[in-house]
Structure formats: structure tokens, C-alpha cells
Amino acid sequence: FEKYKGFEAKLETDTPAENGQRKFRGVIKEMENNTILIMTDEGEVEIPLNTLAKAKLVMTDDLIKATANL
């Protein structure tokens, strides 16, 4: 996740967050202490790695530009 800081991602957890939400979409801010911090439209969300079921990057112009030379 460190490699993709600043990119938008969709994440889904096995267990719901305090508000009952299991699906999240936001920009990856950082990875620390086995927790992913993402910025969503509703604010910052911390997702423990051990609850993560799925994760994928959202195809954006920034992602395309960053991977064009690979």
C-alpha cells in the first residue's frame, strides 16, 4: 500500500466498521501499524489489514500516467 499512496482505491472489509460500513472508496494516505489510512468523501478512515477482504486501485488518469513507463 505504501507504493500506491496518493492513488484512489476501493476496499472491502470482512467485518463492518463502527458505522456498519464494509465498502470504502478513497485516496490511500498511509500505511502504519498494519492499518491503512484512506481519505474518503466523509473523512479519514482507518482500516486494519486483518479485516481487509478486497482491495483494488481505481483506474484514474494519475494511475495511468504513473504506470505508463512500466
CATH number of the domain encompassing residue 14: 2.30.30.180
CA distances from 53 to 45, 49, 61 (A): 16, 9, 26
Q: Determine the structural domain holding residue 31 and report its residue range.
A: 2-67
43: which residues sit within 8 A by CB, 6+ positions away? none
- All three cell numbers of 65: 500516467
Residues of the chain falling short of pLDDT 70: 70
The whole-number pLDDT of residue 51 equals: 95
* pLDDT attached to residue 19: 82
pTM, to two decimals: 0.85
Contacts of 45 (CB under 8 A, 6+ apart): 17, 24, 26, 37, 38, 39
The number of domains in the chain is 1
Note the pLDDT of residue 3: 87
pLDDT at 48: 94
